[in-house]
Amino acid sequence: MPQKEKEKEKPRHQVYTDISELPGVGPATAEKLREIGFSTIEALATATVAELEAAGISERKAEELIRLARESIEISWVTAKDLIRLRSGIRRLTTGSKALDALIGGGIETQAITEFFGEFGSGKSQMCHQLAVNVQLPVERGGLDGAALYIDTENTFRTERIEQMAKYLGLEPDKVLERIIYAEAYNSDHQILLLERADKVIKENNVKLIVVDSLTAHFRSEYIGREMLAERQQKLNKHMHRLLRLARAFNAAAVVTNQVMARPDEFFAPMAVAPVGGHVVGHTSHTRLFIRKTAGKNFRIVRLVSSPYLPEGEVLIKITENGIEDVEEEEREEYGRKR
């Protein structure tokens, strides 16, 4: 083979498939990295020097390891033209409602955090269940042909509901349940830890959806009062960035739910409630959807409140035994008359 062609074949950088292959990483360092949640090259590529230093790795070594991991998966400065290629890697997951998919630009996107916020019983957890099933659908049917990772903080995950939704879509319920990797988070520290240790399980199971239901409930009940607000926001911020980094590293969709609290002021007249978590949650969630109950018992209004590039708007969906569905034209008319 001529020399030139040989060079073309060579990858630009050394590619590592496991952290233990990195130069200078012996069993002790590998163990340390795993302990702090960097057991894959993908996750290590998103680490900061300070994070590794906190685990007793020297600054120089930390810089070197992060650099090698980044080169291995080729995260670095890119030109705007490359951005088109990278972004084209973004995929979309169907919500089960075509109207809602259209509102958010074709479905829930990977490499970003989508937040559903609303009152109790508005359907946030139902949406999470539905997405955990839908992610397993083949791409032609709006899925991502992957598994779901489900962090449940309020013990509201129901396997029966998953079975019901799976059957309706013609999927085998047992298989669907096998591809939902579940953990209940007992408190906010546990919730944080679960996500910090998630990279390996995500990689090994081809996880394409990470659900945190609810993102804020533990934080809200544990950090009470003004004195604790700063600490709560800092932890929440870190937790969300971790989630975002996992979504980016593995091209997965991240979906979180959030309760609402009464607004102290009436500034935003049409919305007398506001999502918990303030600016931290707001700025890290790329797409925020406000879901609310209506007079028609199965109907819900989903409003796109914030998106990096789409206009605000709202659609009507319904929650039935089958799951999340579009509202048919006739039903819509009936609903309109009742209002």
Query: Is the bond leading into 214 cis (omega within 30 degrees of zero)?
Result: yes
Which range of residues in 119-127, 179-187, 227-235, 311-319 is near Mg ion by CB under 5 A? 119-127
Residues 84-123 that bind ligand GTP (CB under 6 A): 118, 120-123
> What's the CA gap between 140 and 137, in Å, rounded?
8
Q: Tell me, what amino acid is at 209?
A: L
Report whether 287 contacts 112 (CB < 8 A).
yes
Name the region of 158 (left: φ>0; alpha: ψ -120 to 50; beta: rest): beta
Instruction: Give, in order, the Cα–Cα distances in Å from 96 to each of 2, 100, 282.
Output: 53, 8, 25
Report whether 287 contacts 304 (CB < 8 A).
yes
Which of 125, 191, 216, 307 binds Mg ion (CB under 5 A)? It is 125
> What's the CA gap between 275 and 284, in Å, rounded?
13
Which of 111, 126, 191, 285 binds ligand GTP (CB under 6 A)? It is 126
Which range of residues in 49-57, 102-110, 122-130, 228-236 is near Mg ion by CB under 5 A? 122-130
Residues 268-307 that bind ligand GTP (CB under 6 A): 298
Please identify, using beta-carbon distances, which residue of 29 and 126 lies nearer to Mg ion.
Answer: 126
**Residue with nearest beta carbon to Mg ion:** 125
Q: At 159, give phi and psi (nearest 5°).
A: -65, -35
Please identify, using beta-carbon distances, which residue of 124 and 232 lies nearer to ligand GTP.
Answer: 124
Please identify, using beta-carbon distances, which residue of 39 and 126 lies nearer to ligand GTP.
Answer: 126
CB of 335 to Mg ion, least distance (A): 24
Q: At 65, give phi and psi (nearest 5°).
A: -65, -40
Residues 159-218 that bind ligand GTP (CB under 6 A): none
Please identify, using beta-carbon distances, which residue of 41 and 132 lies nearer to ligand GTP.
Answer: 132
Rule CB under 6 A: which residues touch ligand GTP? 118, 120-126, 154, 156, 259, 298, 319-321
Rule CB under 5 A: which residues touch Mg ion? 124-125, 156
